[in-house]
Structure 1
């Protein structure tokens, strides 16, 4: 189970310092969509050069020009790019083709997908690498990604799943008990007064679950 830091509404200098501070506890560093809009695609290059041992995800949220936009991110050093799962099949397919050429991966963001089981199966048939259940920032007060994560875990075999949307130390237990492949944390780390200790605690919980299965104390089983 991997912990992914999502850099969104912070400066590039602060994001670098944050990543350096919590580096031992994270596996993936995400250049979030607002971060890319503010800093440009070269931010990916900056982070890949600074943190070569970590996976770098460019949250491009591709919805058109699948090959061309994915290529921009991969040429800058991204290991994973995101495509919106509601995009046309050709857009998703072209992003996957590009990823294979570079030896990289594509994550489908399920934000606003209504029939998640049907779409997830379709994405698997296309050859997607990861499926991310995602609650939009604007909906986090009324929605929780845990329900969609549970649904896909129960319904889709062999899918590599990521989960994002309002995850903090206070609510991470319920998420990691479903054993997703990637847990994505943004504000829960970027807004924390002590991000290193929060990241350490999150990673320890994730490692405990991965090692021994559903832990009685954490999952209440």
Structure 2
């Protein structure tokens, strides 16, 4: 199992600090949507360029202009980019077509209906992100989400999960064996000692 650490709602200085802490330990370092909106890829690229051992994800949450946004994001150094599952199947296909064999498209399924998912669940190399909406104000039921999704979409090969993942959820997901990537944000970056907290997650999932 891989861990993707999301850096969100931080200053550029804080983002730089977290990258230095996580590089080479987190499998994937995510530059969250809030960072992209606040600073843009031009300002984030120099920070990303300093990453030596982890993979880079820009959480672009593309909903249209798929070909352009994915071409641009990869040119800015991303290994992973995100497209919303609620985007049109044509947009998702354009993003997929712009993704080379050594790059990864992640499809964010936050609040996407089963009917919509069934139209796009045939992209074998894509990662399908089960994204619990924390705005709902209820805790994530991570293993239940994973098992229900796998049952409904047995041909999907790569599954990730995000939205309130803590150590207990990570342990349960590891034991379940369905999810390939866990995405953790505030549980690590909001901890008084984020480096040690990341190590706790790694001890559980590796």
Q: Which runs of 4+ in 1 moved over 6 A?
A: none
Deviation at 1:45, TM superposition (A): 1.8
The 5 Å alignment of 1:77-116 reads 77-100=77-100, 103-115=102-114
Structure 1 equivalent of residue 133 of structure 2: 136
Deviation at 1:97, TM superposition (A): 1.1
2:40 paired with 1:40: yes
Q: Deviations over 1:141-168 (max 9, x none)?
A: 2553442212123442352111000112
Deviation at 1:86, TM superposition (A): 1.2
Distance 2:193 2:15 in 1: 14
Deviation at 1:119, TM superposition (A): 4.5
Q: How many residues align?
A: 204
Structure 2 equivalent of residue 147 of structure 1: 144
Alignment root-mean-square deviation, CA? 2.0
Structure 1 equivalent of residue 167 of structure 2: 169
| Contact 1:44 1:77 survives alignment (8 Å) | no
Structure 2 equivalent of residue 60 of structure 1: 60
Q: TM-score with structure 2 length normalisation?
A: 0.89
Task: Indicate the structure with greater helix content.
Answer: 1
| Contact 2:124 2:157 survives alignment (8 Å) | no
Q: TM-score with structure 1 length normalisation?
A: 0.84
| Contact 1:56 1:78 survives alignment (8 Å) | yes
The 5 Å alignment of 1:195-210 reads 195-207=194-206
Could you list the runs of 5+ residues in structure 2 that have no partner in the other structure? none
- For the residue of structure 2 that corresponds to 1:196, the secondary structure is helix
